[in-house]
């Protein structure tokens, strides 16, 4: 979360909004913000931290561990129509990569704007693919990993 907060300006430029959600209470979030996050990122986390007491939101997204009473760390890209376009769930011992998240967001925005599709590892300015019957069986001619 702190790494995303440190890159927050890049996300804002892309028009992205964040919500952090955990089963912790708002009081725990406040202490965590004051005692930990604000020391990692100047000003702390700049987006809302919401409480999911009982794990109802986590259950809907498939990340609530009822036995442990916690939400497993998950990241969801939800488009403006409310459709989940991507998700990543990692256990606590492996950190997430904000640069990969930025790349994916740019790819989803490119796809939405152009109708083209982006191959693996695509970066802005690189070749895209135009889906259609002419591409079937010929992707190998257009793109190499």
Share of the chain above pLDDT 70, in %: 100
Residue 142 has pLDDT above 90, yes or no: no
What's the confidence (pLDDT) of residue 145? Answer: 83
Q: Are strands 70-71 and 64-65 parallel, antiparallel or unpaired?
A: antiparallel
How far is it, in rounded angstroms, from Cα 20 to Cα 57?
11
pLDDT in tens, 95-104: 889 999 999 9
- Domains of the chain with bracketed CATH: 2-96 (3.40.30.10)
| Res 8 pLDDT > 90 | yes
Asked if the model's pLDDT at residue 91 lies above 90, the reply is no
pLDDT of amino acid 67: 96
Average pLDDT of the segment spanning 26-46: 94
Question: Structure tokens of 12?
Answer: 């804002």
Look at residue 81 and tell me whether its pLDDT is greater than 90: yes
Global confidence as pTM: 0.89
Residue 143 has pLDDT above 90, yes or no: no
Is the CB of residue 11 less than 8 Å from the CB of residue 18?
yes
């Amino acid at each position: 979360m702190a790494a995303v907060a440190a890159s927050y300006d890049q996300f804002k430029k892309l028009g992205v909004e964040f919500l952090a959600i955990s089963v912790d209470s708002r009081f725990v979030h406040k202490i965590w913000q004051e005692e930990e996050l604000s020391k990692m990122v100047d000003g702390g986390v700049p987006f809302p931290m919401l409480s999911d007491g009982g794990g109802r939101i986590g259950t809907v997204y498939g990340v609530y561990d009822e036995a442990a009473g916690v939400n497993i760390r998950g990241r969801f890209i939800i488009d403006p129509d409310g459709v989940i376009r991507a998700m990543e769930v990692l256990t606590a011992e492996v950190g997430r990569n904000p640069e990969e998240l930025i790349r994916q967001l740019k790819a989803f925005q490119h796809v939405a704007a152009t109708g083209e599709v982006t191959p693996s590892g695509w970066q802005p300015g690189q070749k895209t693919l135009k889906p259609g019957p002419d591409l079937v069986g010929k992707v190998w001619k257009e793109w190499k990993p």
